[in-house]
């Protein structure tokens, strides 16, 4: 048998030098063939998995932090706030030092993130429902107080491409009929018309959060719901929009974390000094860390893009009757002022993007301005949408026009975009000091046009990021050039402009009024209609607040009634009192009393359940 095999082998090979294997080597040959087959099979499987990985677009998690100042993280310059998880995200991704929100307040920025359009084009130009000063020099224009359903959102675009979509936190783009579920989101946790919770501990006062648990914290609870969503959709691409209510007022923090920062304040001098706000910032950092851990545990971290940015600058101070109040949440130094102002502190925000395999770990872009409208085309390009980096994006002809530009070239290491200017338009008044204004940034030049006296200020941000030197007189040609360009942009987007106010009264111009979208209040003594009452955070007529102290309480409890007069989360004590065990309490407000929210707080800073009534 062996001789026969040799002869056949020699004949086949045509060479007398060919040595046929013995019976044992023949077994090795069979084994080798099997090994080769297994290797080929493994390689084919590997190629198949690789093909699937390429075919599956990346998951996207978009954190939008409320009222988060430009230096409100350690990696962004804070010496006081401790943010190890955000710092780790920055080390794994790219940090932008020229990140901007589309507005100096929240709702317009949120609309810009959702649509890729400037607030001026959408006519969503103030926080919903906005401020109104009826005796100010200018009358604000009519504007839109919800995100129209006709606008195509980033969630709708991604859902049409097979993404699971979820919104977790603050929506603030309209109430009933305009919720996240109507705008492309499969899941909505906590999103409604509200711009702030009543509290960060239960009761939150957020209508669609039903199963609150004693002792939980709102940021943590939101994160748990987000993690559930990630787990449920680990086998398909998902888009998670995470607009935390934090770090908006009313400030709240876990007692042990607040105590840590109070102790830290005693050890040194810091420009940021609010321990409760620091604890709230840390809750956001905890959220980022929990999400990063879950992604790693599920082995999704290498195919998930994370954005982390803010909706406007940090809340630093507000102005009342022409006078600055005390410091509030944070300090935005070296930038000028903060939320609700016309300056950099109102619109420059942190921005970190981690795109595994694309962004260079630990890289920093400190030259290119990026603004909220850019995220829509960026995410679409990441998801593989055709032509998404151009001026139009969408699934079909006639898809929504966007004002933003994809920043994918920057994430790949570039330093320039096609555009050379970004814009703002805020035809409103705000306690953060803003009067109606528009602004343009072209390169390092920034021009602010103030409508009240038709005056322009000019700054060079490269040399003067704190906007301390107005160069309008020194560079008249640049002033004229930028003002003309700003005028053309306003015309192009259809920006609505303020007009002279026939009711202007210099003696009363700081007086406020109920928000612009409120219907006429009921007459004194009338009950508010149930349907309308949902949409009236104001208290009309002669409202009252009631609470019944349980008999089990052994001693009188001191309460204070706090009111938020402006809807910005700035709580002020209106009255203090004691309630005896087992006794009811009622505090009635004077005629025509106007406030957004009213709450009862004990000496231990626990918010009591309150019932607001029209009497």
DSSP secondary structure string, 177-189? T-SGGGGT-SEEE
Give pLDDT, residue 399: 47
> In whole angstroms, what is the distance from residue 508 CA to residue 511 CA?
6
Element (H, E) at 531: helix 530-533
> In whole angstroms, what is the distance from residue 79 CA to residue 98 CA?
20
Side-chain-facing half-sphere of 408: CA atoms under 13 Å: 16
> In whole angstroms, what is the distance from residue 15 CA to residue 22 CA?
18
Give pLDDT, residue 564: 61
Element (H, E) at 90: helix 84-92
Which is more confidently placed, 54 or 466? 466
Q: Sign of the C-alpha dihedral, residues 598, 603, 605, 607?
A: negative
Q: What is the pLDDT of residues 181-197, one digit of tens each?
A: 999 999 999 999 999 99
Share of the chain above pLDDT 70, in %: 73
Is 60 exceeded by the pLDDT of residue 419? yes
Structure tokens at 533: 């009452």
Beta bridge partners of 546: 586, 611
Tell me, what DSSP letter sits at residue 12? Answer: H
Tell me, what DSSP letter sits at residue 76? Answer: G
Element (H, E) at 225: helix 218-232
Query: Is the peptide bond preceding residue 11 cis, with omega within 30 degrees of 0?
Result: no
Banded pLDDT at 401 (limits 50, 70, 90): confident
Asked if 577 and 558 touch (Cβ cutoff 8 Å), the reply is: yes
430 Cβ neighbours under 8 A, 6+ residues apart: 104, 105, 126, 131, 340, 341
Banded pLDDT at 556 (limits 50, 70, 90): confident
> In whole angstroms, what is the distance from residue 361 CA to residue 345 CA?
27
Q: How far is CA 245 from the centre of its chain?
A: 9
Q: Catalogue all structural domains in the chain, each as residue range(s) with its CATH number.
A: 56-500 (3.40.720.10), 530-614 (2.60.40)
Give the least confident one: 111-125, 212-226, 252-266, 398-412: 398-412
Is 80 exceeded by the pLDDT of residue 242? yes
User: For the CA atoms of the chain, what is the radius of gyration?
Assistant: 30
Is 80 exceeded by the pLDDT of residue 9? no
> In whole angstroms, what is the distance from residue 72 CA to residue 133 CA?
31
> In whole angstroms, what is the distance from residue 245 CA to residue 66 CA?
6
Is 60 exceeded by the pLDDT of residue 157? yes
Element (H, E) at 363: strand 363-365
Is 60 exceeded by the pLDDT of residue 38? no
Banded pLDDT at 19 (limits 50, 70, 90): very low
Q: What is the pLDDT of residues 53-67, one digit of tens each?
A: 456 899 999 999 999
Give pLDDT, residue 349: 98
Q: Sign of the C-alpha dihedral, residues 155, 157, 158, 161?
A: positive
Give pLDDT, residue 153: 97
Average pLDDT over residues 131-153: 94
Mean pLDDT of the chain: 82
Give pLDDT, residue 392: 42
Query: Is the peptide bond preceding residue 590 cis, with omega within 30 degrees of 0?
Result: no
Tell me, what DSSP letter sits at residue 332? Answer: -
Structure tokens at 488: 């053309």
Side-chain-facing half-sphere of 195: CA atoms under 13 Å: 27
Structure tokens at 192: 């409604």
Interhelix angle 106-115/375-382, rounded to 10 degrees, is: 30
Helices and strands: H and E segment counts in the chain = 14, 25
Which is more confidently placed, 450 or 531? 450
Is 90 exceeded by the pLDDT of residue 122? yes
Is 50 exceeded by the pLDDT of residue 49? no
64 Cβ neighbours under 8 A, 6+ residues apart: 109, 110, 113, 169, 241, 242, 243, 244, 309, 310, 311
Give pLDDT, residue 31: 41
Average pLDDT over residues 223-241: 98
> In whole angstroms, what is the distance from residue 351 CA to residue 241 CA?
15
Cβ atoms within 10 Å, residue 493: 18
Dump the DSSP string for 368-414: --EEGGGHHHHHHHHTT-TTTTSSB-SSSTTPPB-S----HHHHTT-
Tell me, what DSSP letter sits at residue 296? Answer: H
Element (H, E) at 599: strand 597-602
Give pLDDT, residue 207: 87
Distances (CA, A) of 464 to 347, 421, 456, 475: 16, 18, 17, 15
Give pLDDT, residue 71: 98
Structure tokens at 574: 């209106």
Asked if 369 and 416 touch (Cβ cutoff 8 Å), the reply is: no
Asked if 563 and 572 touch (Cβ cutoff 8 Å), the reply is: yes
Give pLDDT, residue 522: 35
Average pLDDT over residues 545-569: 59
Banded pLDDT at 25 (limits 50, 70, 90): very low
Average pLDDT over residues 510-537: 41
Which stretches of 30-179 are assigned E, i.e. beta strand? 59-65, 94-96, 99-100, 138-139, 164-168
Asked if 612 and 545 touch (Cβ cutoff 8 Å), the reply is: yes
- Residue 172: helix, strand or coil by DSSP? coil
Asked if 415 and 102 touch (Cβ cutoff 8 Å), the reply is: no
Which is more confidently placed, 548 or 312? 312
Is 70 exceeded by the pLDDT of residue 609? no
Average pLDDT over residues 69-78: 98
Share of the chain above pLDDT 90, in %: 67
Which is more confidently placed, 603 or 205? 205
Cβ atoms within 10 Å, residue 420: 10
Is 50 exceeded by the pLDDT of residue 517? no
């Amino acid at each position: 048998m062996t001789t026969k095999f040799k002869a056949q082998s020699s004949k086949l090979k045509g060479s007398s030098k060919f040595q046929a294997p013995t019976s044992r080597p023949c077994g090795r040959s069979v084994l080798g063939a099997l090994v080769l087959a297994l290797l080929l099979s493994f390689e084919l499987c590997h190629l198949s998995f690789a093909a699937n990985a390429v075919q599956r677009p990346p998951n996207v998690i978009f954190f939008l932090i409320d009222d988060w100042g430009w230096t409100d993280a350690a990696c962004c310059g804070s010496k006081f706030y401790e943010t190890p998880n955000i710092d780790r995200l920055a080390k794994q991704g790219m940090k932008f030092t020229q990140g901007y929100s589309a507005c100096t307040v929240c709702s317009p920025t949120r609309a810009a993130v959702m649509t890729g359009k400037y607030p001026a084009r959408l006519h969503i130009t103030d926080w919903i429902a906005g401020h109104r000063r009826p005796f100010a020099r200018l009358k604000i224009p009519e504007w839109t107080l919800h995100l129209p359903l006709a606008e195509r959102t980033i969630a709708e675009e991604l859902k049409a491409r097979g993404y699971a979509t979820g919104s977790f936190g603050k929506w603030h783009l309209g109430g009933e009929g305009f919720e996240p579920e109507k705008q492309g989101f499969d899941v909505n946790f906590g999103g409604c018309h509200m711009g702030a919770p009543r509290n960060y501990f239960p009761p939150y006062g957020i209508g669609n959060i039903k199963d609150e648990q004693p002792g939980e914290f709102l940021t943590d609870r939101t994160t748990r719901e987000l993690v559930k969503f990630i787990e449920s959709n680990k086998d398909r691409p998902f888009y998670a929009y995470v607009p935390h209510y934090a770090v908006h007022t009313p400030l709240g923090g876990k007692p042990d974390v607040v105590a840590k920062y109070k102790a830290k304040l005693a050890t040194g001098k810091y420009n940021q000094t609010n321990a409760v706000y620091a604890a709230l910032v840390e809750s956001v950092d905890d959220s980022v860390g929990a999400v990063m851990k879950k992604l790693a545990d599920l082995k999704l971290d290498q195919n998930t893009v994370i954005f982390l940015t803010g909706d406007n600058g940090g809340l630093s101070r507000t102005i009342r009757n022409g006078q600055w109040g005390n410091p509030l949440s944070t300090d935005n130094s070296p930038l000028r002022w903060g939320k609700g102002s016309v300056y950099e502190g109102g619109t420059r925000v942190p921005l970190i993007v981690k795109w595994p395999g694309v962004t260079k770990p630990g890289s920093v872009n400190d030259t290119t301005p990026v603004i909220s409208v850019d995220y829509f085309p960026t995410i679409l390009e990441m998801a593989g949408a055709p032509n998404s980096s151009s001026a139009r994006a969408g699934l079909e002809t006639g898809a929504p026009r966007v004002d933003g530009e994809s920043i994918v070239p920057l994430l790949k290491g570039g330093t320039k975009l096609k555009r050379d200017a970004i814009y703002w338009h805020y035809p409103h008044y705000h306690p953060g000091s803003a009067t109606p204004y528009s602004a343009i940034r072209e390169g390092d030049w920034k021009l602010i046009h103030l409508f009240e006296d038709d005056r322009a200020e000019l700054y060079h941000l490269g040399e003067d990021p704190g906007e301390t030197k107005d160069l309008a007189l020194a560079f008249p040609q640049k002033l004229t050039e930028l003002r003309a360009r700003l005028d053309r942009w306003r015309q192009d987007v259809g920006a609505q402009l303020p007009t002279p106010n026939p009711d202007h009264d210099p003696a009363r111009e700081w007086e406020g009024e109920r928000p612009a979208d409120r219907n006429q209040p009921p007459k004194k003594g009338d009950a508010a209609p149930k349907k309308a009452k949902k949409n009236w955070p104001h208290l009309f007529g002669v409202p009252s607040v009631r609470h019944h102290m349980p008999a089990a309480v052994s001693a009188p409890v001191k309460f204070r009634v706090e009111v938020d007069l402006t809807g910005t989360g700035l709580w002020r004590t209106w009255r203090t009192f004691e309630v005896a065990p087992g006794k009811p309490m009622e505090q009635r407000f004077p005629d025509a009393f106007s406030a957004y929210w009213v709450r009862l707080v004990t000496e231990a800073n626990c918010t009591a359940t309150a019932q607001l009534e029209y009497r």
